[in-house]
Amino acid sequence: MNNLETLKSQGLHSEDALGTIGPFKIFLGSLEALLGPFELPDEVMDALFYIMSRSHPGTEAINSQAMRLILEGSSRARSTYFLKKNILKGASAIFGPYLLGECHWTLFHCNLKEGTITYIDSLGEQPQHCFQIMENWSLFAASRGFQGPWKMTKRDHDLQNDSLSCGVFSLMFAEMILQGQQGHLQCLPIAQERERLGTLLFNSLDTKTLRRKKGKITKSKNTVDGGLAQESESTEGEQDQPVGEHPCAVDGGLAQESESTEGEQVDGGLAQASESTEGEQVLFEVESVLRLPDGTKAKRYKVTREELVRRCGPPEGYSPNALVAYLRKGKSQKEALMAKLHDSQVEPGPRIRLSTSVSKLCEEECLALAEDVNYMGFKYLPIQKIGQACLEEDQHLEAIVKAQHCRQTLTRIKTAMEANWSYYNLATHGLGPEMLKGAFSLIDACLVEAENLHCLQK
């Protein structure tokens, strides 16, 4: 590629930034790795998937760091603040690179409309690993309001015969799937593809969002999210202009939890009002009621004005004392708290009308609790074994018809519940409906497994 030699002749080094593609910064070394033959770095994979997504409206690319957290079942992936927006809403498909282990790129693709998952490993897929990926994706999707069911589809494809081209294979597979190619996925010669992708990457660079640098870029390690490091670039005497945000940005790739500074109080111990991403006004941050037994610092959750209005309305009707306890305040702060709530048009009642074991749990903590319980259900219940038990011996066809009817009935019941659980949702601070959704999803997953086993046996 003549462009690479031209850049080197200008005195640029591998660590020098060339520009950006979306939110991803590309270096001369990135281009060198792509033209290779070398393993592809994260920024190359993320940038090329980003380029492909721009050419296919409705298809959203998830960056490699976020994809790894999702497909490996990390609890961070189910956090409310994991992604800057719910990218599943309005999308027809999700795809992205998944780094298996430390150095092997694979492809994940999910057709949201058809409920199908395609996972391709250029060295060949392992059934148990595919099943685990589908389970972890189901948990993430459920936390974003997409209950599935999901079905893993298998694609025949070429296999790599070296140890360096997994990234190129994954990119080629992604392009063929997005183009709707059917049948066997046959790849072009690797050297030819590296050249083509290198040209595509170079021609897609945006140099306007990156300030021209006079000196050499130095990389430093910034500790993020409890010891997980990400690289940042700086230039002596200069600062980069901010790179545009991508809807899949995850606070630098990783969801972070906000923590208060000990001994520091703002507004008499009350958090300053801010606007949440869901359009509700955040008034407070409170520590979790449920603590982990390992001594980990308590999590903090946001409480919005609208949430407090819900607590003061039916069926709970919180009193001033109930709100003091709900917001983890001392009695000495009650007067200041009531004044702030009055200014925010939050009016408590004379006495609380409903008090239960979830009364002190804020809505975010209830959501986190439901997510953890649902996650443990999918992780520790033997869904395949339960699905097998649904198939009656020597009466598989009859059993599968029963399973299909059962799924249809459960869907109708769930729909009817959703239309009528408004008070139940308020009384349980959102915990009840989320737990029910998880239970329905678990039962449905078992019935789907029964159908899949029937098809395999047939």
Residue 326's contacts (CB-CB under 8 Å, 6 or more residues apart) are 286, 303, 308, 311, 318, 359, 360, 362
Q: Phi and psi of 89, rounded to 5°?
A: -70, 125
Residue 416's contacts (CB-CB under 8 Å, 6 or more residues apart) are none
Greater confidence, 254 or 161? 161
Sequence-distant contacts of 3-8: CB under 8 A, at least 24 apart = 3/31, 3/198, 3/199, 3/202, 4/28, 4/31, 4/32, 4/35, 4/198, 7/31
Answer whether residue 382 shows pLDDT above 70: yes
Q: At CA 327, angle to CA 321 and CA 330, rounded to 5?
A: 60
- Give me 27's structure tokens: 């270096």
CA distance 48 to 50: 5
Question: What's the mean pLDDT in 414-420?
Answer: 93
Answer whether residue 86 shows pLDDT above 70: yes
**Which pLDDT does position 6 carry in this prediction?**
82
Amino acid in the structure at residue 403: A
Strand 281-287 vs strand 300-304: parallel, antiparallel, or unpaired? antiparallel
**Which pLDDT does position 451 carry in this prediction?**
79
Q: At CA 402, angle to CA 397 and CA 405, rounded to 5?
A: 130
Question: What's the mean pLDDT in 76-82?
Answer: 69
CA distance 62 to 71: 11
pLDDT tens-place string over residues 142-153: 888 888 889 999
**Which pLDDT does position 394 carry in this prediction?**
52
**Which pLDDT does position 137 carry in this prediction?**
94
Question: What's the mean pLDDT in 252-276?
Answer: 34
70 with 77: CB under 8 angstroms?
yes
**Which pLDDT does position 146 carry in this prediction?**
87
Question: What's the mean pLDDT in 329-351?
Answer: 91
**Which pLDDT does position 120 carry in this prediction?**
97
120 with 106: CB under 8 angstroms?
yes
Answer whether residue 1 shows pLDDT above 80: no
What percent of the chain is predicted at pLDDT more than 90? Answer: 53
Residue 333 gets which letter from DSSP?
G
CA distance 419 to 433: 11
Give counts: helices (H), strands (E), the chain. 15, 12
Greater confidence, 144 or 339? 339
**Helix/strand/coil for 35:** helix
CA distance 378 to 375: 5
CA distance 24 to 243: 8
**Which pLDDT does position 106 carry in this prediction?**
97
Tally of CA atoms within 13 A in the half-sphere of 57 that contains its CB: 0
- Give me 142's structure tokens: 């459920």
Question: What's the mean pLDDT in 87-115?
Answer: 92
Which of 136, 187, 135 has its CA nearest to residue 158? 187
Answer whether residue 362 shows pLDDT above 50: yes
Burial of 240 (0-12, 13-18, 19+ CB in 10 A): middle
pLDDT tens-place string over residues 190-241: 999 999 999 999 999 988 755 444 343 333 333 223 232 333 333 333 344 3
Residue 448's contacts (CB-CB under 8 Å, 6 or more residues apart) are 149, 151, 387, 407
Average per-residue pLDDT for the chain: 81
Question: What's the mean pLDDT in 311-340?
Answer: 92
What's the gap between Cα 415 and its chain centre?
25
Answer whether residue 156 shows pLDDT above 80: yes
Question: What's the mean pLDDT in 117-121?
Answer: 97
**Which pLDDT does position 180 carry in this prediction?**
93
Place 80 in a pLDDT band, splitting at 50, 70 and 90: low
Instruction: Tell me how far CA of residue 64 lies from CA of 134, 215, 335, in angstroms.
Output: 17, 30, 49
pLDDT tens-place string over residues 394-414: 566 677 778 888 989 999 999
- Provide the angle, in degrees to the nearest 10, between the axes of the packed helices 190-203 and 166-178: 70
Answer whether residue 280 shows pLDDT above 80: yes
Place 358 in a pLDDT band, splitting at 50, 70 and 90: very high
Question: What's the mean pLDDT in 269-297?
Answer: 67
**Which pLDDT does position 453 carry in this prediction?**
74
**Which pLDDT does position 387 carry in this prediction?**
83
Burial of 160 (0-12, 13-18, 19+ CB in 10 A): buried
**Which pLDDT does position 270 carry in this prediction?**
37
Answer whether residue 331 shows pLDDT above 90: no
**Helix/strand/coil for 254:** coil
Strand 151-153 vs strand 218-224: parallel, antiparallel, or unpaired? unpaired
Which of 112, 46, 95, 16 has its CA nearest to residue 249? 46
**Which pLDDT does position 373 carry in this prediction?**
92
Model pTM score: 0.51
Answer whether residue 94 shows pLDDT above 60: yes
